[in-house]
Amino acid sequence: MGTTNKALEKKINKKISKSVTSDFQIGDNFCIDIKELDSIFTALKEKSFDLIGPTVKEQTIAFDQIESVKDLPEGYTDEQSPGIYRVKKTDSKTLFNFTTGSNSLKKYLYPPHHTLWTASRNKGNFTVKENIPNLKPLAIIGLRACDLKAMFVQDRVLTQGEYKDSYYQLRRNSLFIVAVNCSRSVSTCFCTSMGSGPSVTNDFDLALTELITNTTHKFRLEVGSDKGLDVVKNLKFKAATNKELNDAKEVIKKTTNSITRQLDLHHLDVILKGSHDHKIWDEIGKECLNCGNCTMACPTCFCHTLEDTTDLTGSTAQRTRRWDSCFTIEFSYLHGGSVRTSSGARYRHWMTHKLATWIEQFDMSGCVGCGRCITWCPVGIDITEVAQTLRQTVLDEAHAVAWEEI
Amino acid sequence: MPSLKKPTLAVWKFASCDGCQLSLLDCEDELLAVADAVQIANFPEASRAVQKGPYDISLVEGSITTPHDAERIHKVRRSSRYLISIGSCSTAGGIQGLRNFANVKAFTNTVYAHPEYISTLKKSTPISDHVQVDYELRGCPVNKYQLLELLSALINNRKPVISAHSVCLECKMKGNPCIMVAHGTPCLGPVTHAGCDALCPSYNRGCFGCYGPKETAEPASLSRRMAEFHNVRKPELVHLYRSYNAVADEFKKESESHETD
């Protein structure tokens, strides 16, 4: 009986592997062309998703609403270095030959402004109405591994602690993710140090790897979830060949090797936590504008403030949540004044939280190595360089003390 | 304001262009609500009907540039419960503060046929140099929504929702890519007080600092960067900081540091 069953199972499995149009499963790989990629977009729209994808905006590549593959940045590539971002149009037909853009997923899951409630006065009483956002499900196209990890970090912070953010959860539940494995890197990337890229490994619905040669333009498509399966199951895609799978692996390998920036995490949290009064912060303070750009650009920074307003008559009031930054004076305002008045103290606080105390709080680093804080800092302050300088100075100082003791 | 009576509002003009007062008249849709919430008691730009003080709220536009105005502002202070200076002239000395870097006598001699009739001070100074100011609303001109917010807060006895952080936060929250990083456009946004909702950068123009220095502004670092990476030369740096808030402390110090002999 058992043998018969096994034989039957084998037969069925054989049949499944031959069939390319049905009975797919998570982990399946296909190879598709641009038209087929567009058919995924159409299928998503038919399932009433709004498409959010990388598109050219004000000489940058940014996430915005898109309608089809035509809106993707064909031939565009980017160069990034501390404080500098440039895009370049090439003759190539590539759709994803760039890295992280000027914004991240954060603005969609955790919008900059959100009115929480409105209260109205009514004949000596008042009523409070919660503002539950009316959301359309979003399909994010072209999300990079680092940004996917950032979402995972925000999930941990905003949905898995004692205080859950139901609005974030609401937006997050309806999200569909078409991730992309990076086919290039820029000088500010350090995802390899943070274990977050350049290839996506989990938490996606579908994942693409762009395969382009002089004559062919294809994408390896990997199914990562039931939702992903549901979208592609009727699209009759061809299974990826071993060569195509290898080509995709090569793309990722090449990208991995191209990443040169590193953040040495070894005991970094201990070093940071022990360097509260280090002179390096005074040096950083002379450079840092405390403008807050790094925190706004960071895909994991989640700090916000609550603003209460009324109209002129005082008959209605509103509470709004908006992004805040630990680089403002108000952020650390306690009774009697601000706790962190110098730029250096604010940079120290931000960096220490991101790379050290975040781990205590959430069992993971707050940094995913996307490099946005380096690129979008108007004066190009580089967190990896600061970390390295701090490490070296602390080591040198420790050596000096050790020598003295000998 | 706890009083059951409508609070009285007065609007005063000193050395200025009237733009900030016009921001109040520019409230259009909300103007009736303003007139409902306060009693406009002394606002010559809006009405010839002027009631005698004292006033609950005085909005003061303009800087002090004449001996007469230096006297008059004390009278305004004495007749006002809350004195609020509005706009860069009144909060920082305004564009006319440029005189502070020059010889005013040389100007009057050049411009006027009879300079002896001109009675003016050597320097343009903000209201807070002369009297106690209860609140300063920045901008050139002030943003009408911030003005309404300030009035709403005062009338309802609450803290105004007005931030002193950089323009950058407004830019980023609006979704603007940074024009300095992405285009190489010099921009004072990182050292400038927010409130305009990043108006200029939203149109791909560098911020020229019309709201004045932000809290704990660090213009020296920004200048170094602009000089090194964005080809801004020393005389241009001087001009960049010397506009509507030329004599605001941080901007004044920064422009002076780039002056060549």
Segment B180-224, tens digit of pLDDT? 999 999 999 999 999 999 999 999 999 999 999 999 999 999 999
Candidates A60, A312, A314; nearest CB to B182: A60
d(CA A340, CA A331): 9
Residue of B nearest to A63 (CA): B175
Query: Number of helices and strands (H, E) in chain B?
Result: 12, 5
CB A171 within 8 A of CB A135: yes
Q: What is the pLDDT of residue A2?
A: 42
Chain A neighbors of B153, CB-CB under 8 A: 310
Q: Which fold has domain B8-155?
A: Rossmann fold (3.40.50)
A162–chain B Cβ distance below 8 A for any pair: no
Find which of B181, B183, B193 to mutate to test the A interface (most A CBs within 10 Å of its CB).
B181
Instruction: Tell me the HSE value of A328 on the side-chain side, using a 13 A CA sphere.
Output: 26
Q: Which has the closest alpha carbon to B9: B87, B63, B84?
A: B84
Burial code (b: 16+ CB inside 10 Å, e: under 16) for B41-69 equals: bbbeeeeeeeeebebbbbbbbbbbbeeeb
Domain boundaries, position A37: 26-112+134-258
pLDDT of residue B25 exceeding 50, the answer is yes
Candidates A85, A107, A291; nearest CB to B168: A291
Chain B neighbors of A289, CB-CB under 8 A: 166, 190-191, 217-218, 221-222
Q: Which has the closest alpha carbon to A69: A141, A148, A162?
A: A141
Find which of A57, A284, A312, A343 to mutate to test the B interface (most B CBs within 10 Å of its CB).
A312
Q: Which has the closest alpha carbon to B156: B33, B37, B24, B27?
A: B37
DSSP state of B128: G
d(CA B164, CA B59): 20
Candidates B164, B181, B222; nearest CB to A329: B164
Chain B neighbors of A325, CB-CB under 8 A: 165, 169
Chain A neighbors of B222, CB-CB under 8 A: 289, 378-379
Are A293 and B216 inside 8 Å of each other by CB? no
User: Looking at this predicted complex, what is its ipTM?
Assistant: 0.94
Chain A neighbors of B221, CB-CB under 8 A: 286-289, 379
**Would A357 be classed as within a structural domain?**
no
CB A71 within 8 A of CB A41: no
Residue of B nearest to A58 (CA): B177
Q: What is the pLDDT of residue A123?
A: 87
Cα-based angle B119, B121, B126 (whole degrees, multiple of 5): 130
Q: What is the pLDDT of residue B28?
A: 86
Candidates A293, A330, A375; nearest CB to B168: A293
Which helix (DSSP H) or strand (DSSP E) does residue A307 occupy?
A: strand A304-310
Are B182 and A309 inside 8 Å of each other by CB? no
Which helix (DSSP H) or strand (DSSP E) does residue A143 occupy?
A: strand A138-143
Are B191 and A296 inside 8 Å of each other by CB? no
Chain A neighbors of B36, CB-CB under 8 A: 312-313
Where exactly are the structural domains of chain B? 8-155, 167-257
Q: What is the pLDDT of residues B142-189, one digit of tens each?
A: 999 999 999 999 999 999 999 999 999 999 999 999 999 999 999 999
**Would A289 be classed as within a structural domain?**
no
Ramachandran region, residue B197 (left: φ > 0; alpha: ψ -120 to 50; beta: rest) = left
**Would A121 be classed as within a structural domain?**
no
Whether cis (ω within 30° of 0) applies to the bond prior to A198 is: yes
Task: State how far residue B227 is from chain A, nearest Cα, in angstroms.
Answer: 11
Which helix (DSSP H) or strand (DSSP E) does residue A245 occupy?
A: helix A242-258
Are B173 and A308 inside 8 Å of each other by CB? no
DSSP state of A49: P
Give the phi and the psi of residue B9 in degrees, each rounded to 5. -120, 135
A77–chain B Cβ distance below 8 A for any pair: no
Average pLDDT over residues B103-127: 95
Q: Which residues of chain A fall below pLDDT 70?
A: 1-22
Per the prediction, chain B carries an average pLDDT of 95
Q: Where would I find the beta strands (DSSP E) of A167-296?
A: 176-180, 206-212, 217-223, 238-239
A65-72 contacts, C-beta under 8 A, 24 or more apart: A66/A41, A66/A141, A67/A41, A68/A38, A68/A41, A68/A42, A69/A34, A69/A37, A69/A38, A69/A41, A69/A95, A72/A96, A72/A141, A72/A142
The residue written with tokens 């990083």 in the block is B181
What is the distance in angstroms between the CA of the first residue and the CA of the last residue of chain B? Answer: 54
Q: What is the pLDDT of residue A279?
A: 95
Taking one residue from A and the other from B, the number of pairs with CB-CB distance under 8 angstroms is: 143
Interface of A with B in 109-148 (CB under 8 A): 112-113
Strand partners, A180: A208
Chain B neighbors of A83, CB-CB under 8 A: 181, 225, 229
Find which of A283, A289, A307 to mutate to test the B interface (most B CBs within 10 Å of its CB).
A289
Q: What is the pLDDT of residue A405?
A: 78
Are A291 and B182 inside 8 Å of each other by CB? no
Q: What is the pLDDT of residue B261?
A: 63
Interface of A with B in 342-401 (CB under 8 A): 342-343, 375-380
Number of folded domains that form chain A: 1
Residue of B nearest to A114 (CA): B173
Are A62 and B158 inside 8 Å of each other by CB? no
Are B36 and A313 inside 8 Å of each other by CB? yes
pLDDT of residue B81 exceeding 90, the answer is yes
Q: What is the pLDDT of residue A134?
A: 82
Q: What is the pLDDT of residues B94-109, one digit of tens each?
A: 999 999 999 999 999 9
A86–chain B Cβ distance below 8 A for any pair: yes
Q: What is the pLDDT of residue B256?
A: 97
